[in-house]
Structure 1
Amino acid sequence: MSTSSEKMDQPSSDADIEADRRPATINSGDHNDDKAPKVTEDGSTIVDFDGPDDTENPMNWSSGKKLFLIFSVTIMTVLSPIGSTISSAAASDIMDHFHSDNETVAALMTTIYLLGYSFGPMAIAPLSELYGRAILYKVCIVWFIIFHVACAASPNLGALIVFRFLAGVGGSCPVTLGTGSIADVVAPEKRTGALAAYVIGSLLGPSVGPVIGGYLTPAAGWRWDFWFMAIASGAVALLVIPTMPETYAYVLLERKTKRLNKAAANGQKYRSKLDTGRTPAQHFAFTIGRPLKMLAVPVVFLQSLYAAVVYSYLYLCFTTFPAVFSDQYGFGSGPSGLVTLGFGVGSTIGVIFCGGVSRKLVAYLAARNKTDPKPEYFLPTMIVGGFLIPIGLFWYGWSAEAKTHWIVPIIGTSFLGAGVIITYMASTLYLVDAYTVYAASVTASSTIVRCLLATLLPLAGSAMYDRLGFGWGNSVLGFIAIGFLPLTVVLYVYGERIRTTKRFQVNF
């Protein structure tokens, strides 16, 4: 039986903050005994993990079990964004099949998936707080399979766009819950490496999708892009559904409490330490708006907006690659997909840099300033990414405008890829470290803004490039990226003060 009142090291889930709002308790034993069971005023015994070494606490799982969880989450996170871009290389074939030449609709067919990424987290995050992360992963991967089958069998263009949106809703699950799952099982000082694997999945996936689609479409037809996603998702589902463990502390303690109450004798009652006293309906209503409420906090909104702008550049480039490499350089469908590997190489370099530098930099700055490690100490690495993004945009845009050798613009995209992933990863580390207790919700907040912008911006891409050309079109994007550079410095200096200001301590 677990009735320990001993607090675990770092709260690892959104519900842990509720521990500070639990009912008033009194010791049932000696007031000087910190390990004595605690009871509420109505006589219910408080249920917690059995001290710092309890193996039921995900923080105390074996390294092998933690690695398997991180692998499962990461493989889903790789697969999901592949689905976002796999159809981009087949866009012309799909439009020809449905007898349409509307360029905006062609771009929407790719980016509508990301609109699902924006809406999915609003339901997935609060549902995970009620029922746990594991069940959401399992349900959503089945959903993901169903709607990719529907995409493959689409009878018309409208149906395909709707099914793409619904597939994106299911695909948003690992993107929304992944950081929370990692925070549940990995201590803060070791979290950077685990998050590096997760983040590269979310950004490398979009680069892999066009490669697969570029070779699969001419070989088997565009519908097989979606059959491929359904088959690959089915294989991952066979791994995830029977093995995915629950990591969410709120749900684990609720289950433990139910077991204790079922076995209790003599009217003894137990209550979870994280029980808020709300009914499931009340809890869902309270938490469903949390990602949007968190956007009212300036550091969350500004970081989410910055990440959204640079992330949308990836999809803007993906939707314009055919005009550059097919029309200008004469690449076929397969080689046109391969040009996205410039992003992939840059992303890999960015992850290696960020993973190797971030935690060491935090330790160095904490020692130099004689303070505890702070989330703001992750931000200097973002400055590096902030400079690489405009360099990549200028390089890619003007080399394409000048019609230089095809490798030159691809090298430019590698700088862009490195800058995007460094910026995105530093932003993720900062937000998760600053709001660990709300890891899933703050990730959902960032995802909503990021994917909404990534859905809409590429729709204007063709018109912008037609009017300005590749050189000035990409330069406009580069100047916007330069405009965000001072933000990182401002948040490094004033971020902690803003986060801890009373007016922004909203009851999430």
Structure 2
Amino acid sequence: MQDPFLRNSFWGTVLNYLSGHKLFIHKEEETGYAIPKKYLIIRDPIVEESEINDVIRVKSLADEEQIMESSNEPVNNDKESDSKSIIVDWDGFLTVAVYMGAAIYTPGVDQLIEKFNINQTQATIPLTMFVVGYGVGPIFLSPITENAAIGRTSTYIITLFIFFILQIPTSLSTNFAELCVLRFLAGFFSSPALATGGATVGDVITLPYLPTGIAAWATTAFMGPAFGPLIGAALVVRGGHDGYESWRWPFWFMAIISGTCFLILGWTLPETYGKALLYRKANRLRRITGNKNIVSEGHIENSNRTRRELVVKSFYRPLEITLLEPVVLSINIFTTLVYSIMYLWFEAFPIVFQEVHSFSLVELGLSYSSIIVGVVSGAVVYVPYMYQHFTKRVLRGDSITPEIFIPMAIFGSLLMPIGIFIFGWTSSPDIHWFPPLVGAAICAAGSFIIFQTLLNYMGSSFYSYLASVFASNTLFRSVIGGVFPLFGKPLYENLGSKKFPVGWGSSVLGFISLAMASIPVYFYFNGPKLRARSRYAS
């Protein structure tokens, strides 16, 4: 089968190897394939040793070839590290990016409390553990996706399979500690699909359209937490039968969904990382030519990478950049606040819509759709703005700075507290249930815009250390934000009143977010000076 979409997929690659390269073959493996001379071992005795160069860099793009010569060391075919290296470069790729994730167990919290004899705060720990696992995972797993020998798709599919397997014991949990540990592991192994999706989008979308592509991907990321309670509520209400504990059904549902995605994406999600594709192409050419001198950029990187460099890249540098760069630290704090508020709403919504307005469990799940409406509304505002002010200017060749993202960040920073205040002070028995949904939607729109603009600003400012700054942001916001639901209900209960149960609790968050709006304003006026003094800024 010659379809490039399938042969670059996970299962296509596996079956190609297991069949001895007879299935899902690449053009280099086809019968009658004419091997380009540049890939053949040079054995012409007329050629002087001094004329044979140590490195020949071959670049193939749209069937154009260019050979670049570098040094004048003799050939040694026994040791690749000392031999002539023929570097295989890019000649095309096909790709697709996928994002999937959901927070789904929360509608069964009351059953968890009864089953394991725990309190409300303890029942929130499985949510916290999942989010913390998602934050820790990229520190370990994201660097793997940037290793050319592994690539993105293999990491996605294998960790997705582990995530699928973990749903089975989670569904069968017999004690609370077991449930918490399994939720942490599920979050950990879900992190490549959640945290590295933006990198996959960057693999396949050119720079002018990258903010739009990232926004489309991030829209689904924001929608996940909103869909989870809705689906979970339906499963909990309808899932019980013959005494079966219906709180387990959301995990069985996730097992079905993740297992199905594992099978489908194994065929339909091709490798998108250019270095991984070229690494495999170089290996094919080495096999069919017998020329061990053929290498890709990934081969060279792996041969030169020391264990110390791997540790620095994966662990130390993200922490160093966070602590030493005021821009990164400020954005991490702001996005952590946004993230925390999103998860605090898992505690506020039941108070407002079940306790105050007597919604059923499914109706409560439906109330989270206001977040979806807000995210879509935010995207409708953000995408055209970025097209006009970023995409068109890049296409024209205009010079732009990271501060181009800041005006929209300021807008989102003002929109968010407005939504929080509306949500908090319209959540009352004397007021219809619709205004709090409007407030939630406005806040979600502002949150979406803040995330998009500030992460783009940070990525543009620290482009050379993109993986490290995003890993630090994911760790920072997920570990801290994941803890917030543990004290969400006490926050609202201690500050609430009978007439406005979440008014002052929401106001605390609103005032904090309003103060945080000063961060993008400060960046707008001082961004260039901050980058000039920075050790890591691009």
TM-score of the two chains, using structure 1 as the length reference? 0.83
Is residue 222 of structure 1 aligned with residue 247 of structure 2?
A: yes
Name whichever of 431-440 and 109-118 sits farther off: 431-440
1:394-433 paired onto structure 2 within 5 Å? 394-401=421-428, 403-433=430-460
Q: Which amino acid aligns with 2:121?
A: T
Q: Which amino acid aligns with 1:104?
A: T
Higher RCO (CA < 8 A, seq sep 6+): 1
The secondary structure found in structure 2 opposite 1:245 is coil
Q: Which structure is larger by alpha-carbon Rg, 1 or 2?
A: 2
Q: Which runs of 5+ in 1 are unaligned?
A: 5-23
Is residue 233 of structure 1 aligned with residue 258 of structure 2?
A: yes
Deviation per residue, 1:164-213 (Å, 9 max, x gap): 11111122112221111111111011223321221011101101111111
Distance 1:281 1:367 in 2: 41
1:80-479 paired onto structure 2 within 5 Å? 80=101, 82=102, 84=103, 86-100=104-118, 102-130=119-147, 131-220=150-239, 221-263=246-288, 269-273=293-297, 275-276=300-301, 277-279=303-305, 281=307, 284-289=310-315, 290-295=317-322, 296-362=324-390, 372-401=399-428, 403-436=430-463, 438-469=465-496, 470-479=502-511
User: Which has the larger share of helix?
Assistant: 1
Deviation per residue, 1:435-474 (Å, 9 max, x gap): 4555444332221112112211221212221221111111
Contact 1:88 1:319 in 2 (8 A): no
Q: Which amino acid aligns with 2:183?
A: R
Name whichever of 283-292 and 404-413 sits farther off: 283-292
Contact 1:111 1:456 in 2 (8 A): yes
Distance 2:333 2:341 in 1: 13
1:264–1:497: structure 2 CA closer, same or farther, 3 Å change rule?
Answer: farther
Shift of 1:379: 2.1
Shift of 1:118: 1.1
Contact 1:316 1:461 in 2 (8 A): yes
Contact 1:3 1:49 in 2 (8 A): no
1:392–1:112: structure 2 CA closer, same or farther, 3 Å change rule?
Answer: same
1:319–1:372: structure 2 CA closer, same or farther, 3 Å change rule?
Answer: same
Deviation per residue, 1:230-288 (Å, 9 max, x gap): 101111111112332222233233333334444556x7724433523435745533432
Percent of aligned pairs with the same residue? 31
1:28-39 paired onto structure 2 within 5 Å? 35-39=66-70
1:268–1:374: structure 2 CA closer, same or farther, 3 Å change rule?
Answer: same
Contact 1:200 1:351 in 2 (8 A): yes
Contact 2:88 2:295 in 1 (8 A): no
Q: Which amino acid aligns with 2:233?
A: G
Q: Which runs of 5+ in 2 are unaligned?
A: 1-35, 40-52, 59-64, 74-81, 240-245, 497-501
Contact 1:46 1:270 in 2 (8 A): yes
TM-score of the two chains, using structure 2 as the length reference? 0.78
Contact 2:356 2:428 in 1 (8 A): no
Deviation per residue, 1:95-131 (Å, 9 max, x gap): 112222x121122222221011111111111111222
1:496–1:48: structure 2 CA closer, same or farther, 3 Å change rule?
Answer: farther
Is residue 49 of structure 1 aligned with residue 89 of structure 2?
A: yes
Shift of 1:92: 0.9
1:435–1:181: structure 2 CA closer, same or farther, 3 Å change rule?
Answer: farther
Distance 2:113 2:57 in 1: 71
Q: Which amino acid aligns with 1:45?
A: S
Q: Which amino acid aligns with 2:376?
A: T
Distance 2:307 2:477 in 1: 29
**Runs of 4+ in structure 1 over 6 Å off:** 24-29, 364-368
The secondary structure found in structure 1 opposite 2:445 is helix
* Count of paired positions: 458
Distance 1:497 1:366 in 2: 23
1:297–1:271: structure 2 CA closer, same or farther, 3 Å change rule?
Answer: farther
Contact 2:208 2:395 in 1 (8 A): no
1:407–1:218: structure 2 CA closer, same or farther, 3 Å change rule?
Answer: same
